[in-house]
Structure 1
């Protein structure tokens, strides 16, 4: 009986590792596709005048919003390119587009069904995380915070939850944050967590993503 249980445990662990590896490969492919799109944009011939220029700019902005709103996509490089190309006007455009993109990812997270998240965690054999999601599902924001504070055993994780606004601001400005989901992934998780109200999140975004566009606005010409 013990031998059978041991084999079952080993089989579950092996399946978990294979599924995590598959997930990592999918996310890596997604990241590479974002870099490929970025390369195409950077090598595109930019029209100089008239209607074509307007259409080009609209298309680039829409692509930027899509990349920024999608988890693990490297969208910030496109934004930097726009600011370098168009100076102060580009800085304003990128700033507003970033707010729109990260708001979209947050709202998408709010719409994702907890049952779907539970199925995904069950598929990965993350049963404790699935159990936590089930406990959080019927709770309000303050109750969710209280439960997380009680359940998180790690002091660092508890610190991050207690200082969640600073944590999100730091994560959004972290170099290479595409590796942890990028702005789109961060917004998605914040929306799914339902521990930060929408207007609090938007206010946080307005401050957290402002430094680089502000610099380009005053120095980009």
Structure 2
């Protein structure tokens, strides 16, 4: 017998998500202040450690949907110059790959329970389709539902589309890089290795330009 939705659990989910958002924004504000204050700190050994900590925080923030973690990466580039660009690039790839892996491995039954408690019936139906319908059948249904050009973008060229979305301004409204990669993992329609190669290529342009031409290109 299926468990019925619970308004008590729904309140707990909402409170939990709200607390997570609050804590993440505190971490974001703290990390921006932390990076900004790094110039006042001395000691090459200590500085390497501080940069490493900043990169780890940046990777975690960029992996989180709807978090403007890229601001930390830009701040690091602006403050530390072209020499840190390769490390920001690697942290970006790692953070986005973490988001994909989380989406791919998150228990669908647990996610269904959360959506059910929140009365999100369409989201529950989406999870049911992922669990019960093979990927090829879901792609065929998607192709039949969408216009031909949109079906090509979201099915035939889905890796290129993800790479493009990662470089287009305004994707924060659909979850930013972390949200896009987490949704890709959740869909179970993407290969992990292909996603990894896509991230290596798609996130390279800005760090490469900064590394070659200097931080002045960021304005």
Q: Does 1:202 align with 2:196?
A: yes
Are the counterparts in 2 of residues 141 and 196 from structure 1 also a CA contact under 8 Å?
no
Are the counterparts in 2 of residues 68 and 98 from structure 1 also a CA contact under 8 Å?
yes
Q: Which deviations, in whole Å up to 9, do the C-alpha atoms of 1:104-156 show, x marking residues without a partner?
A: 11111111111122223323433233223212214443333224334x46778
**Gapped runs of 5+ residues in structure 2?**
1-6
1:69 Cα shift? Answer: 1.2
**For residues 155 and 114 of structure 1, what CA distance do their matches in structure 2 show?**
30
Q: Which deviations, in whole Å up to 9, do the C-alpha atoms of 1:141-194 show, x marking residues without a partner?
A: 3333224334x4677864552342233123212224333212111111111111
- Partner of 1:166 in structure 2? 160
- Partner of 1:3 in structure 2? none
- Partner of 2:3 in structure 1? none
Residue 113 to residue 147, structure 1, CA distance change in 2 (3 Å): farther
1:64 Cα shift? Answer: 0.7
Pairwise CA RMSD of aligned residues? 3.0
From 25, 29, 37, the counterpart of 1:36:
29
TM-score, normalised to structure 1's length? 0.77
**For residues 146 and 95 of structure 1, what CA distance do their matches in structure 2 show?**
36
Are the counterparts in 2 of residues 31 and 74 from structure 1 also a CA contact under 8 Å?
no
Are the counterparts in 2 of residues 109 and 187 from structure 1 also a CA contact under 8 Å?
yes
**For residues 67 and 45 of structure 1, what CA distance do their matches in structure 2 show?**
19
Structure 2 counterpart SS, 1:192:
helix
Are the counterparts in 1 of residues 31 and 57 from structure 2 also a CA contact under 8 Å?
no
From 118, 128, 133, the counterpart of 1:134:
128
Structure 2 counterpart SS, 1:196:
coil
- Partner of 1:62 in structure 2? 56
Are the counterparts in 2 of residues 95 and 210 from structure 1 also a CA contact under 8 Å?
yes
TM-score, normalised to structure 2's length? 0.77
**For residues 38 and 86 of structure 2, what CA distance do their matches in structure 1 show?**
23
Are the counterparts in 2 of residues 34 and 73 from structure 1 also a CA contact under 8 Å?
no
Are the counterparts in 1 of residues 36 and 79 from structure 2 also a CA contact under 8 Å?
no
- Partner of 2:173 in structure 1? 179
- Partner of 2:212 in structure 1? 218
